[in-house]
Structure 1
Amino acid sequence: MRHRRNTTKLKRNTAHRKSLLANLACSLIEHGRIRTTFGKAKALRPVAEKLVTQAKRNDLHSRRLAIAFLRQKDAVTKLFDEVAPNAGDRPGGYCRITKLGQRMTDAAPMAIIEWVDLPELDADELEAIAAEETPAAEEKPAKKADKKEETAAADAE
């Protein structure tokens, strides 16, 4: 039975999953908003929120714990200097997950995870972000009959 076992495994072993979540957290801290799959966003939210709660304490021990997890000192500096003070008196709920729809290539559900203190995206911006990955409609190669007509027209000229 899975009573009280809340770890989302993401089909990865422990070391790979911890590295993935640390890298996603660093990207979220650096950019403020990232586009990823819905499952990864759901797994990242508690990690990112615990980091912000830790950073709000702003002492040496919490900074060392953050460095040990994130392994990027510039991300930790930005977390402590910019992200945590923006959270202010908010008691939790620092992240927002917005669903985008399915990815064109493999139909994976996509989402945006962002800090709540950032300005919220409107529907047009969400559609633009969702359309970024969709490949441009490439022209299909002409059929053989069309090619024959084009060559015949070119020869006639």
Structure 2
Amino acid sequence: MRHGKKINHLGRTAPHRKAMLSNMAASLIINKRITTTVAKAKALRKYVEPLITRAKEDTTHSRRMVFSYLNDKQSVKMLFDEVAEKIAKRPGGYTRILKTGNRLGDNADMCIIELVDYNEFLLQDDSAAKTKTRRSRRGGSTKAKAEETVATKSEETAPAAETKEEAPKSEDSTSEESTDEKKD
């Protein structure tokens, strides 16, 4: 029984698991997204999110603590310089897991784990959704309807007068005359 055992061991020994999560976290910080299995992604999320939270405070102590987990100077530098600026206002939830289907060889559940603030496609969709106004089905306010009707009435009266003067000169009247001649 697994009472109180919250760590997914991922079928590895403790030092192998620690090295694997360290390498995956460094790759995630450098590349902003990686493809892996769902189980590894969930374990990586628990591993990397506290490191990103620690990166919000740029001190020597926090850099050394993060380096003890990552063991990669380049990823630590990128985390504190680039990633920490983008996530400064975010209270948590720095990663997103997107399931992509099953792997061909062993049918393992695969996914993409990415840093939330670096997906340009989803950020563009969010900004477009915020700028779009929402329309209700039951109709808008009476003030807006009144303004629209006044505008349409004024547009209808001005062009209508011009079209009445041109109506006898239109091609429709000539086509009617030609059909009358054919009938006689």
- Which TM-score band (shorter chain)? 0.7 to 0.9
Bigger radius of gyration? 2
Q: Which residue does 1:43 correspond to in 2?
A: 43
C-alpha displacement at 1:99, in angstroms?
0.4
- Structure-2 separation of matches of 1:119 and 1:42: 19
Q: Structure 2 counterpart of 1:96, which letter?
A: R
Q: Which residue does 1:102 correspond to in 2?
A: 102
Stretches of structure 1 that go unaligned for 5 or more consecutive residues are 123-157
State yes or no: 1:90 paired with 2:82: no
Q: Which residue does 2:111 correspond to in 1?
A: 111
Per-residue displacement from partner, 1:35-78 (whole Å, max 9, x unpaired)?
Answer: 00111001000111111001111111110011111111011000
Per-residue displacement from partner, 1:120-156 (whole Å, max 9, x unpaired)?
Answer: 657xxxxxxxxxxxxxxxxxxxxxxxxxxxxxxxxxx
C-alpha displacement at 1:118, in angstroms?
1.5
Q: Structure 2 counterpart of 1:14, which letter?
A: A
Q: Secondary structure at the match of 2:47?
A: helix
- Structure-1 separation of matches of 2:39 and 2:28: 15
More helix by share: 2
C-alpha displacement at 1:3, in angstroms?
3.9
State yes or no: 1:77 paired with 2:77: yes
TM-score, with length taken from structure 1: 0.74
- Structure-1 separation of matches of 2:46 and 2:84: 15
Stretches of structure 2 that go unaligned for 5 or more consecutive residues are 123-184
- Structure-1 separation of matches of 2:85 and 2:120: 19
Q: Which residue does 2:55 correspond to in 1?
A: 55
Matched length: 122
Instruction: Using the aligned pairs only, state the percent identity.
Output: 50
Question: Runs ≥4 in structure 1, deviation > 6 angstroms?
Answer: none
C-alpha displacement at 1:4, in angstroms?
3.5
